[in-house]
């Protein structure tokens, strides 16, 4: 069941973003006077197929990992004389650039709309208040302390931990000083620390925790939430709502003590004393052995924690009117775009590990998690992924939109297209680059599993 949910989440996520992207190409092509032969979401054999009054086929295909808009083009077959003015290759370079760039632009517009919608509906975030600080970390050198609220990083406002993480991520691999503005017992203070290649070799970094900050959180009792199907927890008879009061003969004070005991017992039977509906009982569970990336083997039972309520003073409710939400949406769009561009640039320069590149498996897992977390989380994920998709497609790599734009721009400036032999070579280079990126992304996905 969990696998099916993950696959469905991937299909929905890619279906939305691919439809938005391809609709951008389609919409501009139609208005440029180009005949569109097919608009397909997915590759392969069509599962659904219909035509509109202009003769364009609309298809939903079997392989939901992309899509395409096929236009009339003399390079792909014979075109009747009376229809040649409708062919893509007969259009001016400016029109072809407009069609090629419309897909990524549509992704950007979708992200802005998603942020605008969230701003109008309203959302609640958790204040970025420091819980504890890791010794000898950048946060410790900055002299952060429990109870301080991070107001800004390098001048960028940080109303939530997500904003803090995004701001810190932009400093990954850098040398120099990072500055934080903080609220400390009602007064604002500024602290700084020097970075020396921080996060340069990290894979899937958690910028906040790797900076040395453990976010403040309420006491979390050792009460089970979701139980994964076919897990050791389910096999042992554990249920959602069970409170674990003793594990392996040791009293359990909170969720984190329970996790520590389970992690330290891979493959070894643990006797649990639980409280269920006011009654105590004893069960036995054997944590499954799980190997981490660093080679350490830990135990897991496949049970999550029951959600807890955050104090009202730690919550930040945000809501804007339809007009006020417009600059807010553009601000969030720009922050995420800047973070993505910085990350791409740092991976290209070696300041950030290419192990951070993700593929469809990671996207599917994150999509399923955000869908389970609610509308706000899923919309933010869609927006950020849409921005990433738009930026990637604008890279000047042949077979991507950016590569086509580069060819058409050359033709516009020089008055003639690049020689076909040169285009063929660059297309092969583009295929190699994209193929390498896909293999690397899948390899990273498998490592994450």
Q: 420 is in which domain, residue-wise?
A: 94-122+319-449
Are residue 331 and residue 447 in the same domain, yes or no?
yes
CATH number at residue 290: 2.30.42.10
Each residue of 397-412: pLDDT tens digit?
Answer: 888 999 999 999 999 9
Please say if the pLDDT value at position 247 is more than 80: yes
When mean pLDDT is compared across 42-56, 110-124, 416-430, the lowest value belongs to 416-430
pLDDT at residue 449 in the model: 62
What single string gives the DSSP state of each residue in 394-425?
Answer: TSS-TTSHHHHHHHHHHHHHHSSPPPHHHHHH
pLDDT of residue 376: 86
Flag whether pLDDT at 1 surpasses 60: no
Half-sphere exposure of 444 (CA within 13 A, CB side): 19
Residues 105 and 136 in one domain: no
User: In whole angstroms, what is the distance from residue 56 CA to residue 284 CA?
Assistant: 62
Do 433 and 370 sit in the same domain of this protein? Answer: yes
* 129 in the same domain as 110: no
Mean pLDDT of 257-271: 91
In a domain, 8, yes or no: no
Which residue did the predictor score with more confidence, 134 or 352? 134
Closest C-alpha among 329, 423, 333, 317 to residue 105: 333
User: Taking the CB of residue 393, how many other CB atoms lie within 10 A of it?
Assistant: 21
CA dihedral of residues 205, 128, 122, 324 (deg, nearest 10): -100
179 and 241, same structural domain? Answer: no
Q: What pLDDT sits at residue 64? A: 81
Active-site residue list:
22
Domain count, the chain: 3
> What's the rounded Cα separation, in Å, for the pair 233 and 248?
15
Domain membership flag for residue 63: no
The residues pairing with 187 across neighbouring beta strands, listed in sequence order, are 184
Structure tokens at 170: 């932009």
The pLDDT, as a whole number, for residue 201 is 67
Instruction: Report the distance separating Cα 163 and Cα 152, nearest Å.
Output: 9
**Tokens describing residue 3:** 């696998």
**pLDDT tens digits, one per residue of 76-94:** 888 888 889 999 999 999 9
Share of the chain above pLDDT 70, in %: 97
| Residues 201 and 258 placed together within one structural domain of the fold | no
Q: What is the pLDDT of residue 343?
A: 82
């Amino acid at each position: 069941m969990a696998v099916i949910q993950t696959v469905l989440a991937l299909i929905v996520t890619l279906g939305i973003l691919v439809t938005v992207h391809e609709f951008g190409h389609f919409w501009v092509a139609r208005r440029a006077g180009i005949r569109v032969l097919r608009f397909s979401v997915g590759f392969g054999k069509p599962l659904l197929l219909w035509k509109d009054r202009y003769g364009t086929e609309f298809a939903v295909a079997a392989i939901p990992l992309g899509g395409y808009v096929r236009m009339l083009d003399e390079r792909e077959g014979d075109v009747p004389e009376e229809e040649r003015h409708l062919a893509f290759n007969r259009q001016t370079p400016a029109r072809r650039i407009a069609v090629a760039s419309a897909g990524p632009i549509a992704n950007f517009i979708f992200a802005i709309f998603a942020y605008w919608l969230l701003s109008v509906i309203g959302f609640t975030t958790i204040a970025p208040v420091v819980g504890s600080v890791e010794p000898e970390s950048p946060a410790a050198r900055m002299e952060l302390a429990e109870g301080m609220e991070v107001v800004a990083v390098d001048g960028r406002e940080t109303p939530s931990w997500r904003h803090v993480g995004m701001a810190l991520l932009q400093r990954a691999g850098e040398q120099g000083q990072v500055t934080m503005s903080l609220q400390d017992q009602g007064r604002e203070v500024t602290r700084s620390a020097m970075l020396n290649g921080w996060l340069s070799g990290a894979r899937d970094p958690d910028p906040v925790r790797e900076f040395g900050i453990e976010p403040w959180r309420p006491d979390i009792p050792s009460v089970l939430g979701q139980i994964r199907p076919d897990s050791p927890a389910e096999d042992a008879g554990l249920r959602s709502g069970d409170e674990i009061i003793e594990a392996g003969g040791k009293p359990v004070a909170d969720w984190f003590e329970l996790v520590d005991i389970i992690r330290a017992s891979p493959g070894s039977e643990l006797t649990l004393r639980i409280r269920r509906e006011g009654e105590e009982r004893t069960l036995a569970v054997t944590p499954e052995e799980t190997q981490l990336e660093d080679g350490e083997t830990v135990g897991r039972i496949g049970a999550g924690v029951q959600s807890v309520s955050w104090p009202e003073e730690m919550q930040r409710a945000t809501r804007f009117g339809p007009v006020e939400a417009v600059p807010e949406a553009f601000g969030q769009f720009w922050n995420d775009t800047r973070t993505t561009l910085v990350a791409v640039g740092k991976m290209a320069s070696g300041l950030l590990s290419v192990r951070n590149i993700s593929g469809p498996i990671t996207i599917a897992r994150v999509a399923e998690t955000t869908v389970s977390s609610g509308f706000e989380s899923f919309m933010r994920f869609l927006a950020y992924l849409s921005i990433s998709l738009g930026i990637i497609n604008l890279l000047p790599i042949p077979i991507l939109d950016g590569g086509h734009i580069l060819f058409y721009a050359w033709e516009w400036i020089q008055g003639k297209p690049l020689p076909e032999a040169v285009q063929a070579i660059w297309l092969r280079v583009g295929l190699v680059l994209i193929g390498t990126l896909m293999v690397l992304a899948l390899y990273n996905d498998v490592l994450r599993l």
